[in-house]
A and B are shown apart, each in its own frame.
Chain A
Amino acid sequence: MKSLALNILDIVQNSIRARANEITIRITESSEEDIYTIEIRDNGSGIPDGIIDNVTDPFVTTRTTRKIGMGLPLLRHHAELTGGSLKIKSKEGMGTEIKATFSFRHLDRQPLGDITGVLKIIIAANPGIDFIYNHLTDKGEYSFSTRETKEYLETDSLYENSLLDDIAGMIGENLKGIGATGFDYRGNV
């Protein structure tokens, strides 16, 4: 994974497969406090008690198409490279919360990357899921919600390429506004 955004895209797939209908992605960054956290929370089926302690073992997975799962182990690896950690809280039937903590200034902390492109993809591919994206920096906070956007635009569907591009552009403008670091800025076309 070349950027944190790709890790997020990957971990969100777990929530999608757990049949969540609301997924919250929250990024908190502070160069002053030297901290960068990614939290992903869903209301999906949760991780069974029996394997929760082992989910960051690549050879533990609930899937049946293959016997290994690299998503969480990779995220944990990237976090630990910077002296950080990965915490997972989950209750079967209630949902899962994962929190990856990185050192903001550590050389091995990857940049955020194309987060607006990742949001565009997951919104397009999962019309039945409400996504909330929240980003907090030293300068301010920005929140985006697909449900709020649909209500505001009075539409049932955000699936249209030009609309998705505009949404990605809007999120990018706001991230720039709060001084978010390391993301691939794509302005409005």
Chain B
Amino acid sequence: MSKISSLADLRKKREELQAGMDIRIRALNPENIVQVKVAMATCGIASGSKTIMEFFLEQLDRRNIEGVVTQTGCMGYCYAEPTIEVKLPGQDPVVFGFVDLKRADQIIEKYIKTGELVDGIIPVNYQTIDLKE
């Protein structure tokens, strides 16, 4: 593959790729796909959230998971950065703290793929449970 150094090169590569395979059409409704939000404030950036966001962008694509990766501001968990919020379709969002590459991999393999919870969850939403007496 020759080097891409101009918009014309970029378009040429797009055309080659699209001729060779089906263009993947992203689900328009974000409710139906996995949403990953990476906290990207000063505290997050200083703790490595850039690497984590790049990892999710690359790995969701590589592991064929329909998802969208975006960023959010500081969620107030500066002590636990990098933090990410993962929302599986039809479920409440879950916030994970101290996310390094190893934990990011576990989050994809366990939580996103199978729904199994992994370490590092920060409880955000408290709900009262009505106990039947």
B102 within 8 Å of A (CB atoms): no
Task: Decide: A125 and B10 in contact? CB cutoff 8 A.
Answer: no
A6 & B3 in contact (Cβ 8 Å cutoff): no
Chain A residues with Cβ below 8 Å from B50 are 6, 9, 114, 117-118, 121
What 6 new A-B contacts, CB under 8 Å, besides A9-B40, A69-B42, A126-B70? A124-B53, A125-B38, A125-B40, A125-B71, A161-B58, A163-B14
Q: Taking the complex as formed, is A167 at the interface, i.e. its CB lies under 8 A from any CB of chain B?
A: yes
Q: Interface code A1-44, partner B: CB below 8 Å = 1, 0 otherwise? A: 10000100110010001000000000000000000000000000
Residues of chain A within 8 A (CB-CB) of B57 are 120-121, 124, 161, 164
Q: Which 3 A-B pairs have the closest CB atoms?
A: A161-B61, A125-B71, A173-B5
Other-chain residue from B13, B58, B69 in contact with A166 (beta carbon distance below 8 A): B13
User: Which of chain A's residues has its CB closest to B6's CB?
Assistant: A170
Report if B1 contacts A (CB, 8 A).
Answer: yes
B42 adjacent to A74 (CB under 8 Å): yes
Binds B, one of A77-85, A94-102, A147-155: A147-155
A165's nearest neighbour on chain B, judged by CB, is B58
User: Within 8 Å of chain A (Cβ to Cβ): is B76?
Assistant: yes
The interface residues of chain A, by DSSP majority, are classed as helix
Is A139 an interface residue, CB under 8 A from the partner? no
A54 neighbours in B (Cβ, 8 Å): none
Q: Does A87 contact B (CB under 8 A)?
A: no
Known: A10-B45, A125-B53, A161-B61. A170 touches B4 (CB 8 A): yes
A46 within 8 A of partner (CB): no
Question: Is B75 among interface residues, defined by CB-CB distance under 8 A?
Answer: yes
Chain A residue with minimal CB distance to B78?
A66
- Name B residues whose Cβ lies closer than 8 Å to a Cβ of A: 1, 3-7, 9-11, 13-14, 17, 24, 26, 38, 40-43, 45-46, 50, 53-54, 57-58, 60-62, 68-71, 73-76, 78
Q: Which of A143-189 contact B (CB under 8 A)?
A: 148-149, 152-153, 157, 159-164, 166-167, 169-170, 173-174, 177, 187-189
Q: How far is the CB of A66 from chain B (nearest CB, A)?
A: 6
Query: Which chain A residue has the least Cβ–Cβ distance from B72?
Result: A125
The smallest beta-carbon distance between B122 and chain A, in angstroms, is 14
Is A63 in contact with B17, judged by CB distance below 8 angstroms? no
A169 touches B4 (CB 8 A): yes
A135 to B42 Cα, complex, angstroms = 24
Given contact pairs A10-B41, A13-B73, A74-B42, A152 touches B7 in the complex (Cβ within 8 A): yes
Q: What is the CA–CA distance of A28 and B19 in the complex, to the nearest angstrom?
A: 40
Among A65, A117, A164, A174, the residue within 8 A (CB) of B74 is A65
A153, B7: Cβ atoms closer than 8 Å: yes
Q: Are A124 and B76 in contact (CB-based, < 8 A)?
A: no
Determine if A173 and B45 form an interchain contact, defined as CB atoms under 8 angstroms apart: no
The minimal Cβ–Cβ distance linking B82 to chain A, given in whole angstroms, is: 13
Q: Which residues of chain B are near A189, meaning CB under 8 Å?
A: 1
Task: Tell me which of B46, B70, B74 contacts A125 (CB under 8 A).
Answer: B70
